[in-house]
Amino acid sequence: MAAAAETTGWMAFVAVSLAVSGQPASAAGDRALGEYLSSECATCHQTSGRQAGGVPAIIGHPAEQFVALMESYKQRYRENEVMRTIAARLSEEEIAALAAYYGSLTPKP
């Protein structure tokens, strides 16, 4: 039951983050900076929108949702050491930039 509780807790965290940030996507990120920073992510996350080897697709999310996901690693709420380390190193501006870039990508067939 621990897993279920964790999932519920995480979803609540995202809901709260969404409510608190509540900005329109366009208010935040610098897409060009995000594209530049994404070279680090591309080793694992496909830009095609396909999931690869247990690494989820991260494109096409609304910016607030992307930011909330990154914050959940940064605040060590979600458990994944790689993503925790990566998120911890990124500033809010960089996360917003990544959100703008990845949010602008659409899945390729």
Q: Which residues bind ligand HEC (CB under 6 A)?
A: 37, 40-41, 43-45, 54-56, 58, 66, 69-70, 78, 80, 82-83, 86, 98
Cα–Cα dist 80/54, whole Å: 12
Quote the least distance from Cβ 58 to ligand HEC, whole Å.
Answer: 4
Asked if 67 contacts 16 with a C-beta cutoff of 8 angstroms, the reply is no
Give 7 or 22: the residue with its C-beta nearer to ligand HEC: 7
Give 56 or 107: the residue with its C-beta nearer to ligand HEC: 56
Amino acid in the structure at residue 23: Q
Rg (CA), the chain: 14
